[in-house]
Structure 1
Amino acid sequence: MGRPRTHDRQVADALVDAAEQLADSGGVGAVSVRAVAERTGTTTRAVYSVFGSKAGLVAALGTRMFELLGDGVAELPETDDPVADLVEAGVGVFRRLSVTRPALFDIGVRHTAVDPDTVGEFVPAARDAWGSLEARFQRLQDAGLLPGRTVTVASRQFDAMCEGLAAMERRGSMETSGAEDVWRDALQTLLDGMTRHRD
């Protein structure tokens, strides 16, 4: 399971921190109950009691990704320009996490080397994060700025653009110094097209 059961949140967070460090340096394959226990100076029994298995640790990493994503989008200030707010959500939250938390991104978003049953463990956190994004698109719809699209469809198109941009940046297909500008321009162009009224 991805959620702690018997130990306190501080212990659980320390174990997930260790698992993320291991995944950053060696991918999902580097995450093991024993390695996490050694890194945190605890016992394998403690890890098992909190997460149950390696799969539980990996699920906790996926959950952490979506908690960070959802909280990041929800906490962005709302301005009088909902389009600009969405661009900031893409660049300031999604892109930042894809760059600074690569293991979490690979596990949570790309499902790299993650068993489908494990993915199912962090689906609730993914749904919560999705709700934060849809709330931003709801503002567009409420303002009459989303002609011809539902909030769900527009959110998925925006997410697809973010995932594609992240994949390109991660594989080195963008100049690092100009990557943020590429993201901003692409997302602005997408949103301009979405919000343009059709005759």
Structure 2
Amino acid sequence: MPRPKVHDESLRDRLLEQAGQTLSAQGLAALSLRKLAAEVGTSTTAVYSLFGGKPALLKALVDEAFHRMGTHLARVQPGDDPIDDLVALGFAYRDSALADPHLYDVMFGGVVGELPFEGETAAAAAEPFGRLIRFVERAIDRGALRSDADPGTVSLGLWAVLHGLVSLQLRDFRLPAAADPSDAFETVLRTAIQGWQAR
């Protein structure tokens, strides 16, 4: 009878989850493999067996963060109204951040700067912005956005709005008492898009 796998995918997922929470709450300096193993109830041997060391653990964590965001964004398929599609993509971005706030911090915190961006990691990191550009290009092609608009510039502006709104919500920034976060999010996002709409 084969011996059961001790270092399995479940343990790998738990290690990534805990590593993400540690990075989000305490920063990169607080992440040690010994402490991580203890928090998850395993050994450093298991961490090395699954990841090979701290750099590979960080790479796996960044890959997982971008993969999860990509999965959220991929659920939005083009519909009849390109403007509604952009709003839906914005909500998918927000949903991803709210579902995994610690991984959102990993993507846009200091961890990414510690890694070489190449191969699958670079592709995964480029996909969310690339998807936004494709939706913007479609909106321009269908006459919903100005024909003279540069897709990269529009996408950058919308991303900045999305990132700002999501970051404020994740940090419990107090909106006006009457503001529902979802309503406020949609109103601000639609207003940002409106600046690029065809007249």
TM-score, structure 1 length as denominator? 0.78
Letter in 2 for 1:51: F
1:14-65 per-position Cα deviation (integer Å, ceiling 9, x unaligned): 3212322434554444432123322333321231233233333233332222
> Structure 1 regions of 5+ residues with no counterpart?
1-6
1:8 Cα deviation after fit: 5.8
What does residue 191 of structure 2 align with? 189
Point out the more displaced range, 129-138 or 114-123. 114-123
**Separation in 1, partners of 2:176, 2:129:** 29
Q: Give yes or no for contact 1:65–1:105 (8 Å, CA) kept in 2.
A: yes
What does residue 144 of structure 2 align with? 145
Cα RMSD, aligned residues only: 2.6
Q: Give yes or no for contact 1:24–1:103 (8 Å, CA) kept in 2.
A: yes
What does residue 3 of structure 2 align with? none
**Separation in 2, partners of 1:11, 1:129:** 28
1:193 Cα deviation after fit: 1.7
Letter in 2 for 1:22: T
Q: Give yes or no for contact 1:62–1:107 (8 Å, CA) kept in 2.
A: yes
**Separation in 2, partners of 1:35, 1:88:** 40
Point out the more displaced range, 179-188 or 34-43. 34-43
Aligned residue runs from structure 1 range 25-174, under 5 A: 25-91=25-91, 93-109=92-108, 111-112=109-110, 114=111, 116-118=113-115, 120=117, 122-147=121-146, 148-171=148-171, 172-174=173-175
Partner of 1:129, secondary structure, is helix
Q: Give yes or no for contact 2:143–2:198 (8 Å, CA) kept in 1.
A: no
> Structure 2 regions of 5+ residues with no counterpart?
1-6
- Aligned pairs, how many? 188
**Separation in 2, partners of 1:9, 1:139:** 39
**Separation in 2, partners of 1:170, 1:66:** 18
1:104 Cα deviation after fit: 1.2
Q: Give yes or no for contact 2:65–2:107 (8 Å, CA) kept in 1.
A: yes
Are residues 146 and 170 of structure 1, via their aligned partners in 2, closer, same or farther at CA, if it must alter by over 3 Å? same
Q: Give yes or no for contact 1:56–1:118 (8 Å, CA) kept in 2.
A: no
**Separation in 2, partners of 1:31, 1:120:** 21
Q: Give yes or no for contact 1:140–1:146 (8 Å, CA) kept in 2.
A: yes
What does residue 4 of structure 1 align with? none
Partner of 1:195, secondary structure, is coil
**Separation in 2, partners of 1:83, 1:119:** 36
1:184 Cα deviation after fit: 0.4
**Separation in 2, partners of 1:46, 1:194:** 52
1:162-195 per-position Cα deviation (integer Å, ceiling 9, x unaligned): 1111233334142486222121011111112212
Letter in 2 for 1:127: A
Point out the more displaced range, 130-139 or 167-176. 167-176
Partner of 2:180, secondary structure, is helix
